[in-house]
A = this chain, B = another copy of it.
Amino acid sequence: MNKVKSLNRKDLLGLKDLSVDEIKLILRTARSMKEVAARPIPKVPTLLGKHIITFFFEASTRTRTSFNMAAKILSANITNVAVSSSSVVKGENLIDTIKNLEVMGVDAIIMRHSMAGAPHLAAKNSKVVVINAGDGFNEHPTQGLLDIFTMKEKKGSVRGKKVLIVGDISHSRVARSNIWGLTKLGAKVVVVGPPTMIPEGIEKMGARVSYDFDKEIVDADFINMLRIQMERQGKGLFPSIEEYAQLYGLNAERMKKAKPDVVVMHPGPINRGVEITSEIADGLNNVILEQVTNGVAVRAALLFLLLGGKNSD
Contact = CB atoms under 8 A, between A and B. Distances in A.
Interface of A: 37, 39-43, 48-49, 51, 53, 56, 59-62, 64-66, 68-69, 72, 77, 79-82, 84-93, 96-97, 99-101, 103-106, 230, 268-272, 289-290, 292-293, 295-296
A231 to B, nearest CB: 9
22 contacts: A39-B49, A42-B49, A42-B105, A56-B85, A59-B89, A60-B85, A61-B86, A61-B101, A62-B97, A65-B81, A65-B101, A68-B79, A69-B79, A79-B80, A87-B269, A91-B269, A91-B271, A96-B270, A99-B289, A100-B268, A103-B293, A104-B295
A84 B122 CA distance: 25
Contact of A92 (B91, B268, B296): B268
Contact of A105 (B51, B89, B97, B296): B296
A171 to B, nearest CB: 14
A73 to B, nearest CB: 8
B60 A103 contact: no
A230 to B, nearest CB: 7
